[in-house]
Chain A
């Protein structure tokens, strides 16, 4: 009996490992920045070009930092959701226009709607590197103290918004 049970058990363990391994997305690299203070920066704004933005301007608020670009295809996928969220006023969304041309970024906002309280303009992508951005879009949930609490890699999906981001925002706002 043991003769059959042992290989069977080993096989089942292997199946479980492969099933878990194959169902994970290798593109989702866990960010070491979660739980750490959001890196400081000081950038010009995209729309109001004469004004600047620094993360400490949002201190005392729970907010989202959404990294986007006019050249980013999957940003279009999440954008209607962000526009809706922006309208609802549940949580302020700050945009970070990453490695973009100013005119293209402005055109994109005109065409698709602007859900952001403001967008910072990161033309050369330096701030993106500090935030560990490697695939736009990425979205960070930042708490009142300026700590990154969650990072969404890739487009914000309705599931991610309802199951992770909004409950987290609610909890952080308590």
Chain B
């Protein structure tokens, strides 16, 4: 029994000795981290709903390689983004810059919101006036008679 236990133990630890730590995905951890941060902000042009970090498209892999190279050359994040924009346009940025051609894009939702709020205020004011003019005090004698008739009819049922 003891022998079996020892053999089992030897096998267990023997195999453990062969196991290695998982190889790091990239040689330089810091570069990879910066790459991921930048690539999250960039659009993959092949699968347009994916970021460059998440895409497995061939072009995305090539572009990550280029970005990695730029980072290793000591370029700043802004310079890396300029590299991409000069080739593919503002479309690659998930956060497009504020400039005349993107004013509508940035301000559009707020403009619509303001129009909506103005429309709501105008509507409520008008409605307030209508309600004030046609309160119960302002019913004519004829109207009051009709209302009473309708109500008594309701009571009979």
Contacts and interface: CB of A to CB of B under 8 A. Distances in A.
Nearest to A29: B91
B87 A129 contact: yes
B143 interface: no
A46 B85 CA distance: 30
A165 to B, nearest CB: 21
A129 B62 contact: yes
Interface stretch (A56-64, A76-84, A108-116, A131-139): A131-139
B45 A32 contact: no
A32 B86 contact: yes
A132 B87 contact: yes
Nearest to B46: A134
B76 to A, nearest CB: 20
Nearest to A130: B87
B110 interface: no
A33 B87 contact: yes
Contacts of A126: 66
Interface string A91-122: 00000000100000000000000000000000
B57 to A, nearest CB: 9
A89 interface: no
Contacts, number: 38
Interface string B47-85: 010000000001100110010000000000000000001
Contacts of A29: 45, 88-89, 91
A97 to B, nearest CB: 15
B104 to A, nearest CB: 11
Interface in A15-36: 26-27, 29-33
Interface of B: 45-46, 48, 58-59, 62-63, 66, 85-91
24 contacts: A26-B48, A29-B88, A29-B89, A29-B91, A30-B89, A32-B85, A32-B86, A32-B87, A32-B88, A32-B89, A33-B87, A99-B58, A99-B62, A124-B62, A126-B66, A129-B63, A130-B87, A131-B87, A132-B87, A132-B88, A134-B46, A134-B88, A135-B45, A135-B46
